[in-house]
A and B are shown apart, each in its own frame.
Chain A
């Protein structure tokens, strides 16, 4: 061995200037508003995402109430359209993206041993622009019809298919609010992606080679690269739609020879990889949590990295499976069916990696691991229905039915939201210095898991029986009524679970058990510093000699390096 196996802290410790800052609510608010610290911005991203999660959840609950029984008139048809438009837009752009990039913000510098992101002010810009976009979207309730009358939110679906979203079919400004707000959040997300890539490629601690980076950092690198390739096309399409609506261009105007299919291509070229941008960091959370709670190193690190990058690459060429019913022709349909199934291969590799990590481990069934286990089952289910829908003729039967809705909610809730909850329970002690209550956490887990499965397992069935999505009510004689009632009955269980989570957070912030630096006995660098970490993260920049730097520090007699 050439290098010393035990990591030695680097020389010069940081000059820490302790300043006494004025206290009080206004001072605290001022501190948070002007901050460029990646940890504070990360927390603000995640909290923003959670607030919008509740808003989007309320919208979903209203829709489920309306559909609980045939012929209900709780929500008028037009309002129903607005609800599903805002629900989808909110959940993807204002919940998924901020939470995922918020965790990236918080964790990436800590995990690679850096003191902040590469461009801290650009980071603050990204957050505030995203928040502004979110507020703009909801302002449409007031301003959607301009001065013409009562407020109205956009009602064109989260993918705003043209020409429905053209001025001829959606007059007023509601659609413009959708367009501009998502355009603006997109700029913020692109800025953050550039920032993360620059950070990961140039600011890793000495010894933190690419082959030693934590899996979560690998997933953030992959999704940031994807973001640079997929978000600008959405922005471009939105600019085209703006030109159509305001300057009389004809990009998607079928009467002047424009194409409706072109919008679908542009949108889904963004929209499909976007799903992977959201779920890959979820895989990252799981890959960090399962080893710690199994007391084992992750199984097949290299294959996990390869699977992550290849999912990112293959996901770029699967978008048109959202368009099988358009009539693309046999060649294109076959290509996109095959590429979609291909994604299942690296994803399957990951599932086996996680299972093999659990296998033979000394499992500690704390709340984070519980959420990860539920994730494994549910994500497998989501993947299998995904393979079914990749078969073009099958998709012709079930496209735009509740089967599809159930499928992608299994991906985005059963997959993503469960991993987010796991991550929240896992990293909350690091961010706040206090543990979340394990007792409330278990209540949260069981209520949410049961509620989720009652709702979304059941939802597959009305889909198979032919119930189309986006309808605001349905006749009683189709055999869908009991199934819809059961679907709706799962909602209060999930809502109660989330309420318990909120109570848990509020309670634990003040009364939780103090966490200490490393409550889970984990091995990545964020646990090497205090909880919460100081603004400069590490007093001395750590040196890294293996994939588990903290293990090496604590076990100088048995370092990991020689075993890798």
Chain B
């Protein structure tokens, strides 16, 4: 009832703050255990920089913003297309993580129990990937609603809130990338 303030926005901000706090602890644990593994392999030996998929994920933040903007000006088809592009970019990112994990586990023999690097790496990257999956489910629903005609301009705020969540997932990846692939490597 206060002028213009939306409870949806307030709720999503609160949710994102809590999520940030959750990720922070996994990041702290990763930083704390850098270089403390008693056995190999070390990050330097097995990790490659995931440049391409990172670019995909970062640009998906732009596309989802375009979608939200299109819907705000009542261009539903256009919004649906941007949302679809976002989903594709997110899937590419997820595929990159899957490939990386397969290589690490099958070829390099690094599992969560191998050493402290494995212990801290998989939960941190995996927690992020699970958030990507959750985001992709929400975005795919939006695409489905857009294509079936259920998405209307009055839903602009809801799609915008989904885009906030997606920006958050992106921001977390910037931190994870810096910590795991730059500082930790």
Count A interface residues, CB 8 Å.
Answer: 42
A114/B1 in contact, CB under 8 A: yes
Q: Which residues of A contact B18 (CB under 8 A)?
A: 190, 193-194, 228-229, 231-232
Q: Which residues of B contact A230 (CB under 8 A)?
A: 21
Q: Is A118 an interface residue (CB 8 A)?
A: yes
B5/A251 in contact, CB under 8 A: no
Q: Is A9 an interface residue (CB 8 A)?
A: no
B10/A118 in contact, CB under 8 A: yes
B7/A194 in contact, CB under 8 A: no
Question: Residue on A with the closest CB to B39?
Answer: A256
Question: Residue on A with the closest CB to B22?
Answer: A232
- How many angstroms from the CA of A233 to the CA of B112 in the assembled complex? 21
Q: Give residues 232-263 of A contacting B (CB, 8 Å).
A: 232-233, 235-237, 239-240, 243, 247-251, 256-259, 262
Given contacts A194-B11, A257-B36, is CB(A250)–CB(B116) below 8 Å? yes
Q: Which residues of B contact A195 (CB under 8 A)?
A: 11
Q: Is A85 an interface residue (CB 8 A)?
A: no
Question: Residue on B with the closest CB to A209?
Answer: B2
- How many angstroms from the CA of A282 to the CA of B115 in the assembled complex? 46
Q: Give residues 68-118 of B contacting A (CB, 8 Å).
A: 111-113, 115-116, 118
Name the one of A119, A257, A259 contacting B37, with C-beta atoms under 8 angstroms.
A257
Q: Which residues of B contact A250 (CB under 8 A)?
A: 113, 115-116, 119
A236/B11 in contact, CB under 8 A: no
Q: Is B6 an interface residue (CB 8 A)?
A: yes
* Interface size class of chain B, counting residues whose CB lies under 8 Å from the partner chain: 20 to 34
Q: Which residues of B contact A194 (CB under 8 A)?
A: 11, 14-15, 18
B123/A235 in contact, CB under 8 A: no
B10/A202 in contact, CB under 8 A: yes
Q: Which residues of A contact B7 (CB under 8 A)?
A: 118-119, 198-199, 202-203
Question: Residue on B with the closest CB to A206?
Answer: B1
Q: Which residues of B contact A266 (CB under 8 A)?
A: 25
- How many angstroms from the CA of A72 to the CA of B95 in the assembled complex? 63
Question: Residue on A with the closest CB to B27?
Answer: A236
Q: Is B175 an interface residue (CB 8 A)?
A: no
A193/B2 in contact, CB under 8 A: no
Q: Is A541 an interface residue (CB 8 A)?
A: yes
B25/A258 in contact, CB under 8 A: no
Given contacts A199-B7, A249-B112, is CB(A204)–CB(B2) below 8 Å? yes
Give chain A nearest CB distance to B92 CB in angstroms. Answer: 27
Given contacts A249-B113, A250-B116, is CB(A240)–CB(B15) below 8 Å? no
- How many angstroms from the CA of A231 to the CA of B21 in the assembled complex? 8
Q: Which residues of A contact B19 (CB under 8 A)?
A: 232
Q: Is B38 an interface residue (CB 8 A)?
A: yes
- How many angstroms from the CA of A233 to the CA of B25 in the assembled complex? 6
Question: Residue on A with the closest CB to B111?
Answer: A248
- How many angstroms from the CA of A541 to the CA of B1 in the assembled complex? 10
A256/B116 in contact, CB under 8 A: yes
Q: Which residues of B contact A206 (CB under 8 A)?
A: 1
- How many angstroms from the CA of A223 to the CA of B26 in the assembled complex? 23
Name the one of B10, B38, B113 contacting A248, with C-beta atoms under 8 angstroms.
B113
Give chain A nearest CB distance to B119 CB in angstroms. Answer: 4
Q: Is A213 an interface residue (CB 8 A)?
A: no
B10/A251 in contact, CB under 8 A: no
Give chain A nearest CB distance to B75 CB in angstroms. Answer: 28
- How many angstroms from the CA of A484 to the CA of B58 in the assembled complex? 64
Give chain B nearest CB distance to A253 CB in angstroms. Answer: 8
B119/A249 in contact, CB under 8 A: yes
Q: Is A220 an interface residue (CB 8 A)?
A: no
Q: Which residues of A contact B115 (CB under 8 A)?
A: 250, 256-257
Given contacts A198-B10, A228-B14, is CB(A257)–CB(B38) below 8 Å? yes
Q: Which residues of A contact B14 (CB under 8 A)?
A: 193-194, 197-198, 224, 228
Q: Which residues of B contact A190 (CB under 8 A)?
A: 18
Q: Give residues 266-295 of A contacting B (CB, 8 Å).
A: 266
Give chain A nearest CB distance to B42 CB in angstroms. Answer: 13
A251/B2 in contact, CB under 8 A: no
Q: B-facing mask of A178-196, CB < 8 A → 1, else 0?
A: 0000000000001001110
B10/A228 in contact, CB under 8 A: no
Q: Is B150 an interface residue (CB 8 A)?
A: no
Q: Which residues of A contact B11 (CB under 8 A)?
A: 118-119, 122, 194-195, 197-198
- How many angstroms from the CA of A115 to the CA of B162 in the assembled complex? 27
- How many angstroms from the CA of A237 to the CA of B111 in the assembled complex? 20
B1/A249 in contact, CB under 8 A: no
Question: Residue on B with the closest CB to A250?
Answer: B119
A256/B2 in contact, CB under 8 A: no
Q: Give residues 1-53 of B contacting A (CB, 8 Å).
A: 1-2, 5-8, 10-11, 14-15, 17-19, 21-22, 24-26, 29, 32-33, 36-38
Give chain A nearest CB distance to B139 CB in angstroms. Answer: 22
Q: Which residues of A contact B26 (CB under 8 A)?
A: 236
Q: Is B61 an interface residue (CB 8 A)?
A: no
Q: Is B120 an interface residue (CB 8 A)?
A: yes
Give chain A nearest CB distance to B87 CB in angstroms. Answer: 26
Q: Which residues of B contact A233 (CB under 8 A)?
A: 21-22, 24-25
Given contacts A194-B18, A198-B10, A266-B25, is CB(A257)–CB(B116) below 8 Å? yes
Name the one of A202, A239, A251 contacting B119, with C-beta atoms under 8 angstroms.
A251
Give chain A nearest CB distance to B34 CB in angstroms. Answer: 12
Given contacts A194-B11, A232-B18, A249-B123, is CB(A202)–CB(B5) below 8 Å? yes
A202/B21 in contact, CB under 8 A: no
Q: Is A205 an interface residue (CB 8 A)?
A: yes
Question: Residue on B with the closest CB to A236?
Answer: B25
Question: Residue on A with the closest CB to B18?
Answer: A228
- How many angstroms from the CA of A147 to the CA of B111 in the assembled complex? 30
Give chain B nearest CB distance to A217 CB in angstroms. Answer: 14
Q: Is A513 an interface residue (CB 8 A)?
A: no
B positions within 8 Å CB-CB of A = 1-2, 5-8, 10-11, 14-15, 17-19, 21-22, 24-26, 29, 32-33, 36-38, 111-113, 115-116, 118-120, 123
Known: A228-B17, A235-B22, A240-B123. 11 other contacts (CB 8 A): A119-B11, A193-B14, A193-B18, A194-B14, A195-B11, A197-B11, A228-B14, A232-B21, A239-B123, A248-B113, A257-B38
Nearest 8 CB-CB pairings of A with B: A248-B113, A236-B25, A232-B22, A194-B14, A118-B7, A198-B10, A232-B21, A202-B5
A positions within 8 Å CB-CB of B = 114, 118-119, 122, 190, 193-195, 197-199, 201-206, 224, 228-233, 235-237, 239-240, 243, 247-251, 256-259, 262, 266, 541
What are some 17 contacts across the A-B interface (CB < 8 A)? Answer: A118-B10, A193-B14, A194-B11, A194-B18, A198-B10, A199-B7, A201-B5, A202-B1, A228-B17, A233-B25, A243-B123, A247-B112, A248-B111, A249-B123, A257-B116, A259-B33, A266-B25
